[in-house]
A and B are shown apart, each in its own frame.
Chain A
Amino acid sequence: MSAADTLLKPLIALGAFVIGAFAAIGRLAIFAARALKSAATPPWYPARLFEQMALIGWFSLPVVGLTALFTGAALAQQIYVGGQRFSAESTVPAVTVIAIVRELGPVLAGLMVAGRVASAMAAELATMRVTEQLDAMVTLRTDPWRYLIAPRLVASTLMLPVLVLIANIIGVLGGYGLSVFRLGFNAANYLATTRRFIEADDILSSLVKAAVFGFVIALAGCYHGFRSSGGAAGVGRATTNAVVLAFVLILLFNLAITVLVFGN
């Protein structure tokens, strides 16, 4: 091997990586566009949509609620301890509610639901791919994009804001409970401060984030499930990849929306 080859090798690897990354983004974007088109045009399957809404919304409630409750309480404790250093214990209600509603509520609910839902979607669709159920559906005059993917995307996009709203409330209540019962805050004052500091824009941005997270969760699950190949190992790969992709997309879009809305 010549010296030039040795020098070129890392560059070739880097180039291949960059091209591969862009190709993957392109594939995902094309998939998302086709999924959106399928969701926007009939036939629609309301029964499938309600089924998915129940699966995503109702059955995620316990895990989302618990996460919000514990995080809200822990957050209040930390803000109290941290605030003590410069006699700012009284900021607990204000900082807790803003941190929960703007960041932790949507992100934690998004991540928890992603773990539950993106993996389940990927595993189910990948299994249907492996067992030829997706091919069979096409031969039975039904479009899997409309029957399987569209209801999942719409249900997830609609249910995440509901879940995040509940997570926000429970999260604030977690902070309230700990502050009142452990740190000796006055209950009425705590709630009044909370109400004074929270603004409509905070809640709106929280819900917008939630809808975006809902969309990317279902997108990641459907994308990896639908495109899976290679038998049982392929199903496992699809599930893992779906969760990783959903997590990364949630954190990425969270940052983007935060900078966009609160950056100026």
Chain B
Amino acid sequence: MTERLKISGLKKAFGSKVVLDGVDLSVAPGESLVIIGGSGTGKSVLLKCILGLIKPDAGSILLDGKELVGLKGRALEEARARFGMLFQGGALFDSLPVWRNITFALTQGKLGGGAQMRKLAIENLTKVGLEARVADLRPSELSGGMQKRVALARAIAAKPEIIFFDEPTTGLDPIRADVINALIREQVTALGATALTITHDMASVRHIADRVAMLHGGRIIWQGPVSELDSSGNDYVDQFVHGRREGPMRVATTA
């Protein structure tokens, strides 16, 4: 099997706080991998390292066998063009209407291609179950769930090969979360994309994942198919999956 993404020995510390302490992880083409882990365990940092938004201290990230760490200029831009990302809060540009948000990657922020871009934006809005009239609204006029959907439309508009989802269901009610999960699954399959999701929403994990990996203490401590999630035999995974207070992971309750 050739991996689409192969991460090895990835390390990152902020000052004296070690966040990633040698992460090894691979993602196959077309696979949907979900990384679970407690809040503040460095899941977002891992994604941002892959995207080149944060520079890792050590380790390697291979995209189709080519090193991403240390890429600069055009080479970095070309690699980034293959990625799409859905940010936790949506991260829509509030100074632009919805349709300009969706086509932002295609026009690279320029104002060209008006009618054609607008049409493309509406096509992508339809894909995420939103009406055409949403296209002319400002992001601030949308509800949280709709913002997530627009952000999803923006992430898939440029047809990326690899899509990252940062806590896609956070802040949504269970019904809307399920809608987003279904849309993610649907669009990732339609694009034939490779998906890497980080979440601590177990319903989301079961819906989206082909394979699950758990990040704890800066390392991947377990990974396996989603079907083995309940029989992992790993105490950490068990505690997390069932949301128990008691277990190998201690959370300070007095702090």
Interface centre among A48, A132, A133, A136 (most CB of B within 10 A): A136
Contacts of B81 in A (CB 8 A): 141
The answer to whether B84 touches A133, judged by C-beta atoms less than 8 angstroms apart, is: no
B93 CB contact (under 8 Å) in A43, A45, A47, A133:
A133
- Which chain A positions have C-beta within 8 A of B108? 43, 140-142
Q: Are A139 and B51 in contact (CB under 8 A)?
A: yes
B48 at the A interface (CB under 8 A): yes
Known: A141-B77, A141-B80, A141-B81. A135 touches B87 (CB 8 A): yes
A45's closest neighbor in chain B, by CB? B109
* Min distance, Cβ B73 to any Cβ of chain A, angstroms: 11
- Per-residue CB proximity of B51-91 to A under 8 Å, as 1/0? 11100000000000000000000000100110111011101
Indicate whether A131 sits within 8 Å of B109 (C-beta atoms), given known contacts A139-B83, A142-B104.
Answer: no
- Does A247 sit at the interface, judged by CB under 8 A? no
In the complex, A227 Cα to B153 Cα: how many Å?
Answer: 29
Closest beta carbon of chain B to A228's beta carbon, Å: 16
* Contact status of A141 and B53, CB under 8 A, knowing A43-B110, A45-B110: no
- Contact between A147 and B109, CB atoms less than 8 A apart: yes
- Docked CA distance A94–B108 (Å): 53
Beyond A133-B91, A133-B93, A135-B53, whether A141 also contacts B110 by CB under 8 A is no
Chain B interface category by residue count: 20 to 34
A151 to chain B, nearest CB (A): 11
Convert A117-155 into 0s and 1s, putting 1 for each residue whose CB lies closer than 8 angstroms to a CB of B: 000000000001001110111111110000100000000
Q: How far is the CB of A127 from chain B (nearest CB, A)?
A: 9
A138-B80, A140-B154, A141-B77 known; A132 vs B87 contact (CB < 8 Å): yes
B52: chain A residues at CB < 8 Å are 138
Residues of A within 8 A of B105 (CB): 139-142
Q: Are B89 and A142 in contact (CB under 8 A)?
A: no
Please report which residues of chain A, range 175-221, place their CB below 8 angstroms from some CB of chain B when the two chains form the complex.
none
- Whether B89 and A132, one on each chain, are in contact in the complex, defined by CB atoms closer than 8 angstroms, is yes
With the chains together, A138 CA to B83 CA distance in Å? 11
Q: What CA separation (Å) do A141 and B93 show in the bound complex?
A: 14
B111 adjacent to chain A (CB < 8 Å): yes
Q: Which residues of B contact A142 (CB under 8 A)?
A: 104-105, 108-109
Given contacts A131-B91, A132-B89, A132-B91, contact A139 B84 (CB under 8 A): yes
For the complex, give the distance between the alpha carbons of A152 and B85 in Å: 27
B interface, by DSSP: helix, strand, loop or mixed?
Answer: loop
Chain B stretch 109-148: residues in CB contact (< 8 A) with chain A:
109-111
B77 touches A135 (CB 8 A): no
A147: which B residues are within 8 A, CB to CB?
109
A76 vs B110: C-alpha distance in the bound complex, in angstroms?
50
Chain B, residues 205-218, CB within 8 Å of chain A (1/0): the string is: 00000000000000
Given A131-B91, A132-B88, A132-B91: A139 in contact with B109 (beta carbons within 8 A): no
Shortest Cβ distance from A142 into B: residue:
B109
Residues of A with C-beta under 8 A to B53: 135, 138-139
Question: Which of A40-58 touch B at CB < 8 Å?
Answer: 43, 45, 47-48
Chain B neighbourhood of A132, CB < 8 A: 87-89, 91
Instruction: Return chain B residues, CB-CB under 8 Å to A47.
Output: 110-111
Contacts of A139 in B (CB 8 A): 51, 53, 80, 83-85, 105
Closest to A132 in B: B91
Task: Please give me the residue from chain B that is nearest to A47 by CB atom.
Answer: B111
> Given A141-B108, A147-B109, are A131 and B83 neighbors across the interface (CB < 8 Å)?
no
Which residue of the partner chain A has the closest CB to B103?
A140
Chain A residue at minimum C-beta to C-beta distance from B81: A141
B56 → chain A, closest Cβ, in Å? 16
Q: With the chains together, A147 CA to B107 CA distance in Å?
A: 12
A133 CA / B95 CA spacing, docked (Å): 11
Q: Which residues of B contact A140 (CB under 8 A)?
A: 104-105, 108-109, 154, 158
- The reply to whether A136 and B85 form a contact with Cβ atoms under 8 Å apart is yes
Determine how close the nearest CB of chain B comes to the CB of A207; give it in whole angstroms. 31
Which residues of chain A have C-beta atoms less than 8 A from B51's C-beta?
135, 138-139
- Of A43, A128, A137, A141, the most chain B CB neighbours within 10 A belong to A141
Given A139-B105, A141-B105, 14 other A-B contacts at CB below 8 A?
Answer: A43-B108, A43-B110, A48-B109, A128-B93, A132-B89, A135-B51, A136-B93, A137-B93, A137-B104, A139-B51, A140-B104, A140-B109, A141-B80, A141-B81
A-B contact pairs, 6 of them (CB 8 A): A43-B110, A45-B110, A133-B91, A133-B93, A138-B52, A142-B104
Nearest 8 A-B pairs (CB), nearest first?
A136-B91, A140-B105, A132-B91, A142-B109, A139-B85, A140-B104, A132-B87, A147-B109
